Amino acid sequence: MIDTIFFDIGGTILDESREFETWADWLGVPRHTFSAVFGAVIARGLDYQETFRVFRPDFDLAAELERRAAAGKPESFGEDDLYPDARGCLTSLKEQGLFVGLAGNQPAHAEALLHALDLPVDAIGTSHGWGVAKPSPVFFERVIREGGGDPSSILYVGDRPDNDVRPAMVAGMHTFLIRRGPWGHILDLPAVSEQCLFRIDSLDELPSLVAKHNAAR
């Protein structure tokens, strides 16, 4: 039985397209050029911050976030940046009586923004708040603790086979891989994705799949 579901944040419930557009603008790079380099970095399995270093070799994310904030152009997101299927999916899962949480790699300012969205979730965890980032096993140990302690009853939903699905599997959790966003479409690891409980293209599919899975148990 699945009684707890944790979602990755960026690329899973949060559409990061506008965020990366603002980074291209901040760096003074044409958006399509930034996107092309970003895709190449993902395809090579590199850290996404290598994209920024192509254009600014001394790029430091924390320092650059401070500069943006000081310039009145802070990195931010809101309701319009949620994928259209996110809020409805979370609501449907809560109506099934499931414990629902968010847990993803996010910077310091993100947790307050996530709480401000007033999403129908029981827990929100970020790499900054927890002091550990995916794909570290320690991150997923924290997910398990927050989710009640039994990994076999927890489902982790994410868009990345490397950062989300593979380490969640190793930790003993069930996994759903959603195919959207740059990682979902570019980074294909069949040996990982084929072990997922399901692969989905929309969060609209998730509540009924979970209900059917639990009904068969």
The stretch 7-26 carries a mean pLDDT of 95
pLDDT tens digits, one per residue of 174-189: 999 999 988 888 888 8
Is residue 55 pLDDT above 90, yes or no?
Answer: yes
Radius of gyration of the chain (CA): 17
- DSSP, collapsed to helix, strand or coil, labels residue 13 as coil
Is the pLDDT at 116 greater than 90, yes or no?
Answer: yes
Distance, first Cα to last Cα, the chain = 6
Average pLDDT of the segment spanning 145-150: 95
pLDDT of res. 189: 84
Q: At what angle do helices 206-215 and 86-95 cross, to 10 degrees?
A: 20
Share of the chain above pLDDT 70, in %: 100
Domains of the chain as residue ranges with CATH: 4-15+80-215 (3.40.50.1000), 17-70 (no CATH)
Average the pLDDT over 11-21 and give the result.
95
Q: What are phi and psi of 176, to 5 degrees?
A: -120, 135
**pLDDT in the model for residue 194:** 87
